[in-house]
Amino acid sequence: MSPQHIIRGSCTLILAPFLTIIVSVLTLVDLLWVRKSEVKVQVFPRYWGRILCWLAGVRVRVEGAEDLDPGQTYIFAGNHCSQYDIFSFQGYFPHDFRWIAKKELFRIPVFGRAMHRAGYIPIDRTHGRQALKSLDEAAKRIAAGNSVLIFPEGTRSADGTLQEFKTGAVLLAIKAGVPIVPLGFNGSYQVLPKGTFLPRSGEIIIRVGPPISMGQFKAGDKQGLAMELHGAVECLLDEGSVQR
């Protein structure tokens, strides 16, 4: 890594927590006392994502989003190999959406309250009755008009290649009954691989595939849907991002 990359990466690492706190405070102030609009307040996390990309020297392109219906609710589902999947999508994806996040994040002071007020959806990632209940609640929120992004692999890929999809993520799509849109995040692994801390400059391309309708799927079809979605995401990835 060149000295320039080290400086940029270090600045990003140092400034990211402060930027997150500032954005959280602005979000709460806007929601509680100014515009009081969950949709309009999304401008703050959008700038958060863009600034984190700019600090690291990361350029972002989105390909295929022009074919999406702006008024339609979707579940976006993509590969996950870097924290910059989150930053690039948050900053540059043109469709209104919310995050699904583990419930523990909502307990963080200021940050967690901002997430809750901005319409982000908590989910219990443990097993058992509470996990199923949180999945049902998340599905209701999505069906009511909240598009979301999910990563069906469950965690970041250690080597940047596409991993097997978990059925829990696709079960959420079946329960919500809204179209699921495959995404391919290309270049994000090179920017910040799992296990590293300093991002490199580069380009991330988010490719958007055709929506998959949930009309014909039932809960018992979750394995088949996971395989179909996996294949659709695979087609959106550059060579080298797919296991052989």
Contacting residues for 87 by C-beta, under 8 A, at least 6 apart: 48, 49, 52, 53, 58
Contacting residues for 1 by C-beta, under 8 A, at least 6 apart: 9, 198, 200
End-to-end CA distance of the chain: 29
At residue 123, the pLDDT reads 87
At residue 15, the pLDDT reads 95
Q: Is 131 left (phi over 0), alpha (psi -120 to 50) or beta?
A: alpha
Q: How many CA atoms lie within 13 A of 195 on its CB side?
A: 4
Residues forming a β-bridge with 59? 203
Q: Where are the beta strands (DSSP E) in the chain?
A: 58-63, 75-78, 98-102, 121-123, 148-150, 180-186, 202-208
At residue 241, the pLDDT reads 63
Residue 181 CA to residue 77 CA, distance in Å, equals 6
At residue 244, the pLDDT reads 46
Say which residue the tokens 């402060």 belong to: 18
The domains of the chain are located at 3-234
Residue 149 CA to residue 203 CA, distance in Å, equals 21
pTM of the model: 0.94
At residue 127, the pLDDT reads 67
Angle, CA 150 vertex, CA 241 and CA 106 arms, to 5°: 130
Phi, psi dihedral angles at 59 (to 5 degrees): -95, 145
Residue (of 141, 152, 123) closest to 178 by Cα position: 141
At residue 242, the pLDDT reads 58
| Tens digits of pLDDT across the chain (244 residues) | 688 888 899 999 999 999 999 999 999 999 999 999 999 999 999 999 999 999 999 999 999 999 999 999 999 999 999 999 999 999 999 999 999 888 899 999 999 999 999 999 998 877 667 777 888 899 999 999 999 999 999 899 999 999 999 988 889 999 999 999 999 999 999 999 999 999 999 999 999 999 999 988 898 899 999 999 999 999 999 986 655 4
Q: What is the CATH T-level fold of the domain 3-234, as seen in this structure?
A: Glycerol-3-phosphate (1)-acyltransferase (3.40.1130)
